[in-house]
């Protein structure tokens, strides 16, 4: 296969992921849950590993700054290494939730495979504490993380880049849905001026 054909096939995966899987009802539900958390003074906690951790950081910032939904993530190197050293890598994220989650928080866990032990342990803890759990996965539809979520987003793909970027687009679509527009200045004052 030549490179042009390879790229056409590659981008077809993205097109299929984004446009042949209707997640609009789920995205609207997630928006509602985030607004409910905001109304009761709770927060949204995003977490993942690797590329999903980077996405969790980006989403926590955008939801907080742009949509006014107070959000956090656990991507500080000192937190990860301290908790992993003291509690084991499979338990560090659960321990982070124990330390930082409050009643009424919404937990969003992202794992392409849906099988990462640290993510699964955090999911079980969230459920034990009565927290709403939202999961984003790919690979096998019957993966263990998807089975735990109160709201589960699943993408029929085995390509990490396609899964991670689609999850990212879905999450930021919720952010923009809360804001009510997709094209807006980065600074709140500028957004307010445009709306006047």
Give the CATH number for residue 70: 3.40.50.10490
- How does 67-106 read in b/e, with b if 16+ C-beta sit within 10 Å? bebbbbbbeeeebbeebbeebeeebbbbbbbeeebeeebb
Residue 20's pLDDT is what? 87
Residue 4: inside a domain: no
Angle among Cα 157, 136, 139 to the nearest 5 degrees reads 25
Residue 82: inside a domain: yes
* pLDDT tens per residue, range 5-64: 999 999 998 898 888 889 999 999 999 999 999 999 999 999 999 999 999 999 999 999
Residue 113's pLDDT is what? 97
Residue given tokens 């307010």 in the structure block:
192
Helix 3-19, helix 160-179: angle, nearest 10: 40
**pLDDT (mean) for 81-87:** 97
Residue 149: inside a domain: yes
Residue 138: inside a domain: yes
Residue 9: inside a domain: no
What is the residue range of 124's domain?
14-195
Give whole-number Cα distances, 119 to 38, 47, 65, 87, 168, in Å: 24, 8, 26, 14, 17
Burial class of 147 by CB neighbour count within 10 A (0 to 12, 13 to 18, 19+)? middle
| Total structural domains within the chain | 1
* pLDDT tens per residue, range 169-193: 999 999 999 999 888 777 767 666 6
User: pTM for this structure?
Assistant: 0.93
What percent of the chain clears pLDDT 90, i.e. is strictly above it? Answer: 87
| Helix and strand numbers, DSSP H then E, in the chain | 9, 5
Phi, psi dihedrals of residue 113, rounded to the nearest 5°? -80, -25
């Amino acid at each position: 296969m030549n490179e042009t054909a390879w790229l056409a096939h590659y981008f077809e995966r993205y097109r299929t992921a984004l446009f042949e899987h209707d997640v609009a009802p789920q995205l609207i539900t997630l928006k509602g849950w985030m607004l409910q958390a905001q109304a009761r003074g709770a927060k949204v906690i995003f977490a993942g590993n690797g590329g999903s951790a980077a996405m969790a950081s980006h989403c926590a910032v955008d939801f907080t700054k742009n949509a006014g939904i107070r959000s956090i993530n656990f991507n500080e190197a000192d937190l990860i290494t301290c908790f992993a050293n003291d509690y084991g890598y499979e338990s560090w994220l659960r321990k982070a939730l124990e330390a930082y989650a409050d009643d009424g928080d919404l937990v969003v866990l992202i794992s392409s495979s849906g099988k990462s032990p640290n993510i699964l342990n955090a999911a079980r803890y969230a459920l034990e504490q009565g927290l709403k759990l939202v999961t984003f996965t790919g690979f096998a539809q019957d993966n263990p993380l998807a089975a735990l979520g109160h709201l589960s987003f699943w993408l029929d793909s085995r390509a990490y880049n396609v899964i991670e970027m689609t999850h990212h687009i879905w999450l930021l679509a919720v952010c923009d849905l809360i804001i009510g527009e997709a094209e807006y200045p980065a600074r709140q004052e500028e957004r307010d001026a445009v709306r006047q």
